[in-house]
Structure 1
Amino acid sequence: MGRSWVLPMIVAGFAALGIAMLGGTITDLGPWYQGLAKPDWTPPNYVFPMAWTAIFALAAIAAVRTWVAAPNARAADTVVGLFALNGFLNILWSLMFFRMQRPDWAFAELLLLWLSVAALIVVCRRYSRFAAAALVPYIVWVSIAGALNWSIVELNGPF
């Protein structure tokens, strides 16, 4: 990594850590969540923090790779804005699902989260194939989360 990567990597790392920590504090695996009927294929609880840690690390790397490769300030600002929107949507899902206890609303919001990840892949690919590839696990995981979220709505609704 060249010198031009150091500050952006620090900023992206702290942003990813902040989003992960905020999302983690919103996530409550207490009695309400434990009481929900879940499909048999639900991953064990310990898988979620491991998956999100890897996804946020890859997203931070993708953000920096794309930002550095962006041809101008406008493109770089677009990349930052898309990642910020994605972080907001990620936190909003946790808020709706766990704090508001509305998996139905969370599923609708998750569709927006999925679209934001897809948009990130498309935009990042313009400047860095590596960055786009680094985001593929994110869209796969959000797709799995969406299927799980929908199953919870079907098994437990109406909310």
Structure 2
Amino acid sequence: MNITKVITFIACVAATLAVGAVAGIATAQNITNWYVYINKPWFNPPNYLFGPVWTVLYLLMGISYYMILTTLTTAPKRATAVIVFGVQLALNFAWSFIFFKYHQLGWALVEIIAMWVSIFTMIVVFSRINKVAAIMQIPYISWVSFASILNFAIWRLN
């Protein structure tokens, strides 16, 4: 592996982890002073589970993004993949603020559905370039599917 690929790999992983870290700050500040007091469904996971799960998902996002950037493909396919990746990452980032910082449970539900669609689109677009990069996003869309159900249940209960 040459130095350019190493730097690209580090940048891809660091960028996704940084997005997650900033969103995590918004989340963490509201766990103890808001989230613990709202009504949650019986299937709500323990709070300590969210951080490790999201860390793994952000790592997988960064690695698969690196794979897309370094797989030989046409410029238009890569450009589409980069745009779709950016859109889903922006929606991912925004959800934490809408839900945890601003406590807008209904808007967070609308937003997480848009995020799910963008992740699904990313998987489709990635699969046309690198199937492994696309498959690596299955845990992500699975978790966001669960989070969407959880968001809906919390919205209904509150």
Residue 7 of structure 2 is matched in structure 1 by: 7
1:131 to 130, 133, 142: 133
Tell me, yes or no, if structure 1 residue 74 matches structure 2 residue 76.
yes
AA partner of residue 5 (structure 1): K
**By how many angstroms is 1:75 displaced?**
2.3
State the alpha-carbon separation in 1 of the partners of residues 72 and 145 from structure 2.
28
**Alignment RMSD, CA only?**
1.2
Residue 64 of structure 2 is matched in structure 1 by: 62
Residues 70 and 100 of structure 1: is their aligned pair in 2 closer, same or farther, counting only changes over 3 Å?
A: farther
Residue 151 of structure 2 is matched in structure 1 by: 149
SS in 1 for 2:73: coil
**By how many angstroms is 1:113 displaced?**
0.4
Residue 48 of structure 2 is matched in structure 1 by: 46
Structure 1 unaligned regions, length at least 5: none
Tell which deviates more after alignment, 68-77 or 23-32. Answer: 68-77
State the alpha-carbon separation in 1 of the partners of residues 50 and 140 from structure 2.
12
Alignment of 1:86-125 (within 5 A): 86-125=88-127
Listed one character per residue, the Cα deviations across residues 32-68 of structure 1 (whole Å, up to 9, x for unaligned) are 2111111111111111011101101111111111121
Aligned length, in residue pairs? 155
AA partner of residue 22 (structure 2): L
SS in 1 for 2:44: coil
Listed one character per residue, the Cα deviations across residues 87-138 of structure 1 (whole Å, up to 9, x for unaligned) are 1101111111011111110000001100111011001100111111100000
Aligned sequence identity (%): 34
Task: State the TM-score, normalizing by the size of structure 1.
Answer: 0.92
Tell which deviates more after alignment, 75-84 or 144-153. Answer: 75-84
Residues 76 and 7 of structure 1: is their aligned pair in 2 closer, same or farther, counting only changes over 3 Å?
A: farther
**By how many angstroms is 1:78 displaced?**
2.1
State the alpha-carbon separation in 2 of the partners of residues 18 and 150 from structure 1.
27
Tell me, yes or no, if structure 1 residue 83 matches structure 2 residue 82.
no
Which runs of at least 4 in structure 1 moved beyond 4 Å after TM superposition?
A: none
